[in-house]
Amino acid sequence: MVSARIAGESLAHFGYTRLQIECVQSLIMVTQLPNHPQTILEQIIADADLDVLGRDDFWERNIALRTEMAIMGMPYTDEAWYAHQVEFIGAHCYYTSSARALRDADKARYLNEVTTRLEVSRTR
């Protein structure tokens, strides 16, 4: 990932030690999917990266992501988008107990809503 390389090249100039730089790089890399966080810091960052799956602004961010993908030349039909979202959200698990306590219930609600939208798109 480019940002991890940039961090590795630049943080030493700001007095970071090699160990600190490696830690920052691992935190950057754990946001790349699929992820496999090994440390508590990596788990926290991975959970924060996908916190939106259980937040109040889920739909706003979901629409923005779909729009961004279309602008980048990857448009989706409603059925394809919702099918992908059902698969992604359904497979996702938060790593920390705090994230699970804060977000799992709303994430499940959004998964149900996306599933309903998928079913509706298939009947059109």
| Contact between residue 54 and residue 103 where contact means Cβ atoms under 8 Å apart | yes
- pLDDT per residue over 69-105, tens digit each? 999 999 999 999 999 999 999 999 999 999 999 999 9
Q: pTM of this prediction?
A: 0.88
Would you say residue 124 has pLDDT above 90? no
